[in-house]
Structure 1
């Protein structure tokens, strides 16, 4: 049986018992129905993981004892920041989940003119919290020991104007440049994917003013969730996980 990989947002030290937080305890105790003596692997995002033994289980609490530190690193050498136009329904959840599995570093949900999702106040805060939990679960499932940051949603113009030395890309089906023409991105990549309705001409122009380069993936128009994951896969193949 595979040892469950669990995110624990606290300090972790060998032989010092750790009470898992509510989400982790619920998953271990109620979902997986694990018992005292069972093994779990816990990580806090600071690198590596800790093989641990469960020493206490109740309906609400799970306490584990870290036994061994494992310096296990599965992170991509390529830092990638996705600016994703917010999509409807579970498409955004799917994009975040699969982006984490594919090695994304940061994700910023983007409000744009053709974004069909209207969120504000408490609803926006709850949705952001949900997206971060999806990223945590995807990191656990894929064996990552770092949880990518899902930033609070912002307007497209604000994201485009953020300072960065990374290569900047905008995915556009009518772009002149192919992803194959990208030079080695030593400072990482920032790439922008639009919502279901795509970008307006104004948004494309703003992106160009901020040194974003239009790229295309091929002759077909991809759905927003397909586009993000295809770009990620292509970048990892060319410059990241699978480059060597």
Structure 2
């Protein structure tokens, strides 16, 4: 049986016994029906992975003993902050999930001119919590030990003016700048448009804020596909893809 891997957002100290959170109790005790003596892998977002053994397993309580800690060696070497214009339903979930698997460090959902998603404060908080959980689940699956931050949604014009990165890119299919000719950056901010695309005004605004228009091939990508394809190229050129 494959050893389960769980996110546990509390301090993990080798040698300590730890009561796991309700989500992991549900997963380990009720779904997997694990028993005392079974092994699990835990991580809390600090970049390390922890071996643990279950000491007590009850329906509403799971106690684990933390054994060894180790650096994962799987954290991305190129930090990428994605400004992702909001899309509907599963498209946004897909973008968060796959961007996390590809090594994204942070995502800020953006409101833009052609964005059709409108969120009140209560619904916005709920969606951010949901997207953060999608990112956590993607970390569990992809063996990452750091969890990307899903920030509060922001207006596009605010994000392009305030985001900090060594290289700022806006996907714009009219541009023909070869990405490989740009100098190697220490960090990247990547602006992804909505389903209807960015307006010319928004592209000009991004360029005025220091963004370099680029495209990743001759075809126009959907809003949920673009961050995945873009990160694959960025991580291959300047990150850790292809270096294993």
Query: Does the 8 Å contact 2:131/2:150 carry over to 1?
Result: yes
Query: Does the 8 Å contact 1:36/1:57 carry over to 2?
Result: yes
1:191 aligned onto 2:195: no
Aligned to 1:229: 228
Within-5 A mapping of 1:29-48: 29-48=29-48
Within-5 A mapping of 1:93-172: 93-172=93-172
Query: Does the 8 Å contact 1:73/1:145 carry over to 2?
Result: no
Aligned to 2:78: 78
Which consecutive segments of 4 or more residues in structure 1 shift more than 3 A? Answer: none
Instruction: Supply the distance in 2 between the matched residues of 1:232 and 1:108 (Cα, whole angstroms).
Output: 15
Instruction: Supply the distance in 2 between the matched residues of 1:175 and 1:133 (Cα, whole angstroms).
Output: 35
1:197 is paired with a residue whose SS is coil
TM-score of the aligned structures, taking structure 1 as reference length:
0.95
Within-5 A mapping of 1:42-57: 42-57=42-57
Aligned to 2:7: 7
Aligned to 1:217: 216
CA deviations on 1:17-61 (whole Å, 9 max, x unpaired) are 111112222222222222211100111111211110111222222
Tell me which moved more, 54-63 or 211-220.
Answer: 54-63
Aligned to 1:208: 207
TM-score of the aligned structures, taking structure 2 as reference length:
0.95
Instruction: Supply the distance in 2 between the matched residues of 1:218 and 1:156 (Cα, whole angstroms).
Output: 24
In structure 1, list runs of 5 or more residues that go unmatched.
Answer: none
- RMSD of the alignment, in Å? 1.3
- 1:163 Cα deviation (Å)? 4.5
In structure 2, list runs of 5 or more residues that go unmatched.
Answer: none
- 1:243 Cα deviation (Å)? 5.7
Aligned to 2:237: 238
- 1:74 Cα deviation (Å)? 0.3
